[in-house]
Chain A
Amino acid sequence: MNRSPVVITGQGAVCALGLGLDAIWAELAAGRDGMKPIERFSTATFTTHLGGMVPVPGTLEVDDAKGTRETCIRYSVLAAKEAVARAKVTFANPRRVALVLGTSMGSHLGGLHEGSAEVAAALGIEGPVVTVSTACSSSTNALGIGRDLLDDGLADVVLAGGADVLCPEIFAGFHALGLLSPKKCSPFSEGIGTTLGEGAGFLVLEREADALARGAPFVACFSGYALSGDGYHATSPEPSGAGVARALRATLDDAGLRAEDIDYVNAHGTGTAANDPAEWLAISSVLGSRAEQVPVSSTKSYLAHAQGAAGVLELVCSLLALEHGQVLPTLHFTKPRRRGPSDPVAQTTPRAAKVEHLLSNNSAFGGANAVVAVSKRVTPRRAPVQRPVYVSGFGALLPEAGSKRLGPFKLEALVPTADTRGMDPSARALTGAVALALGDAKLTLSGAARERTGLFVGTTNASPVSWEEFRSTIRERGLVKVSAPAFTRLVLNSATGTAARLLGLRGPTTTLTTGVGSGLVAAALAATYLSSRTDADRLVVGAVDEVDLERDTGRSDAAAALVLTSLPTEGSVRLAGWALAGPRALEEAIASACGAASVTPAREHLDALASGSLASCGAAFQSLRLGAGRTLLVDVSIAASCAVVLERSDA
């Protein structure tokens, strides 16, 4: 595995501050925020009217899902093209260029992965396209996965970042949750609540050696990242900040940095009552006395909360400031809240500061935390860790033969400590499958082991039942009275968050989609995370499909889960090889994954999208326990090809 430093060679962005880095920097430098009364749709019946909207000339139709989708793709393409242009990179081999796009709800019509595939097509990208959807930490998470693709040698150029659009439904959902401020959000300061925004941002990531070889521009070094899960609540962060603290610590470790090395922290800093104090607790617990000296600011005070795109946009802004030898302020800061940063950079314009290393943090609904570390200069990486990845358990909930729907089952029988009120079918099925897999692995987790056991999920859509409930409350009661509980279940990582919470999994957590085969892709990415790092010992890989029978006539419900572990296991079935490639590059994926080994064809797939291959994976795992051999599993979608080799390693 290649452990060359990973560098950022280009950036591009559109957000409330403008289109393109030059326009954005002009606003940042002048201390002008981009929060204004929303004109694009009516907010008359709401108690707040502000938003951080991308100032796109002409009118934008976002009255419906189709308009939102097209806008999301448009923002993405604008930002991505700028990044590519600034990186001065041409795609000599488009199949070696990957796209990792983080989005909360962006182009949900027809599936998030389709929107990302369109962005890839517009950019001429033919390598794997992975869509990460962990609500407000999506793009931060995406940057990390992008780095991993380079480390795995699965791509030579990665475009990583994210996009989201502010549409009326999302505005109404946050409003119903009571999270919006009537005034411009003032993180860490008196006004409580956040302001929503939108936008898109991308970084071009390359291995240092490749960047040097082609004389690429250098923006900064992507030093490290980490993920963690709160396992606490659907929308509120864990009050002690312990989840964020774990991600911060693991990021420092991944980057080979210590607390004393950090010169700036870009906080998630939404301004809500729950986020800011918990986040500060996390930062101060990890940085210790250094936390008192380090500037900690929130860029949401400039461009509002760009949802899934927040992470990458906030990093882009931090890097623009870094370039100018400055750190960004937290705007609208009046009186500090009871507990908050010692130095929130409470001023109206950027401040001169010497920054060698910075941390950027984002948290999300479902407790999905992601942190990245970026350095001004290339930092050498530690000798690579290479741990084996074993499969130690499998579980699945599948329909009866001939049926498309998962039959009824008692989740309480599988998880006696589960409070199942308000769970939608996707959350129930995923939780059940993960519980079965943990049982099959004979795992009872406790204490610290929970923090080192995570959950990577591949899926394609949030539960149609939750969508219908959400939409029906809009129809019956109007947008201003939309159901807050239903809204929280619309983010793609909602089921992941629920399963992690009910089963006490607090390690690295993510949710992604590539369409068909998302579960297998999640397994491959989990294997990368587990094999190359030491902040987790086990990752459960899950996949769930809940079909909308009116739209997906050929499909069926399913949920499956595998337990991957780096700890030596009885009955050792290993994930011997895995790879992702572009949608038309299956042979390359197989070749990467198999090496010279002889393989057997994959088993017959189920009609399920995300979980079909994961269920096959599990079946292969079970049969491999009985006999020797290797099994190759593959899946292909419009976004990516994936190949995984399972091998029984007899002594």
Chain B
Amino acid sequence: MTPVLMAWLEHRAQQLARVRRVLIEDLKVQREPDEIDPDAPLFGTGLGLDSVDAVELVVSLETEFGFRLDDDALARPSMRTVNSLVDLVMRKTGGSHVAP
């Protein structure tokens, strides 16, 4: 593993931790951070969020990470799993969801 990759992985792990915290504190998911599987679905099944939570999720992410999501933020691909949220965060915070 190259140092560049290790740094990217470390960064991604931090973003995952922050996304997990948003889910726990703002969306009231009743789990510890490491009990939230990175590939867990968000809506319907998985973490069991519903439509009322969807807007709250976007707003909480915007607040936590400081980026703005437009209306297509609720666009489905980025809101499917915890990892897809982290991918979104990586892209929106000037990075990439793909390792160098």
Contacts and interface: CB of A to CB of B under 8 A. Distances in A.
A178 to B, nearest CB: 6
Given A421-B48, A484-B56, A485-B53, A477 B63 contact: yes
B90 interface: no
Given A421-B28, A422-B28, A481-B63, A176 B55 contact: yes
Given A176-B55, A178-B55, A481 B29 contact: no
B28 to A, nearest CB: 5
A476 interface: yes
Interface in B43-57: 48, 50-56
B27 to A, nearest CB: 8
Contacts of A177: 52, 55
B96 interface: no
Interface in A478-493: 481, 483-485, 488
A4 interface: no
Nearest to A477: B63
Interface string B55-66: 110010011000
A236 B28 contact: no
A235 interface: yes
Nearest to A175: B55
B52 A485 contact: yes
Nearest to A483: B56
A313 B71 CA distance: 34
A484 B52 contact: yes
Interface string B79-95: 00000000000000000
Interface in A386-422: 419-422
Contacts of A178: 51, 54-55
A28 to B, nearest CB: 34
Contact of A484 (B55, B62, B71): B55
A485 B54 CA distance: 10
Contacts of A483: 56, 59
> Interface SS of chain A: helix, strand, loop or mixed?
loop
Contacts of B55: 176-178, 484
Nearest to B49: A421
* Residue of A235, A236, A484 most packed against chain B (CB within 10 A): A484
Interface in A21-72: 47
A309 interface: no
A485 B56 contact: yes
A521 to B, nearest CB: 31
B30 interface: yes
B62 A481 contact: yes
Interface string A428-471: 00000000000000000000000000000000000000000000
A177 B55 CA distance: 7
A481 B73 CA distance: 14
A234 interface: yes
Contacts of A484: 52-53, 55-56
A414 B28 CA distance: 21
A419 B47 CA distance: 12
Nearest to B50: A233
Contacts of B51: 178, 236
Contacts of A234: 52
Interface in A1-37: none
B52 A235 contact: yes
Given A477-B63, A481-B59, A488 B52 contact: yes
* Residue of B28, B29, B48 most packed against chain A (CB within 10 A): B28
Interface in A488-522: 488
A69 to B, nearest CB: 27
A180 to B, nearest CB: 12
A166 B53 CA distance: 24
A280 B36 CA distance: 41
A176 B53 CA distance: 10
B69 to A, nearest CB: 11
Contacts of A488: 52
A427 to B, nearest CB: 13
A477 B59 contact: yes
A419 B51 CA distance: 16
Interface string A221-246: 00000000000011110000000000
A646 B56 CA distance: 47
Contacts of A421: 28-30, 48
Interface in B25-39: 28-30
B74 to A, nearest CB: 9
A176 B52 CA distance: 8
A482 B71 CA distance: 16
A288 to B, nearest CB: 32
Nearest to A176: B55
A276 B30 CA distance: 34
21 contacts: A47-B71, A177-B52, A178-B51, A178-B55, A233-B50, A234-B52, A236-B51, A419-B48, A421-B29, A421-B48, A422-B28, A473-B59, A476-B63, A477-B59, A477-B63, A481-B59, A481-B63, A483-B56, A483-B59, A484-B53, A485-B56
Given A420-B30, A485-B28, 19 more contacts: A47-B71, A176-B56, A177-B52, A177-B55, A178-B51, A178-B54, A178-B55, A419-B48, A421-B28, A421-B29, A421-B30, A422-B28, A477-B63, A481-B62, A483-B59, A484-B52, A484-B55, A484-B56, A488-B52
Interface of B: 28-30, 48, 50-56, 59, 62-63, 71
A-B interface, 5 closest residue pairs, ranked by CB to CB distance from nearest: A481-B59, A422-B28, A484-B55, A176-B55, A484-B52
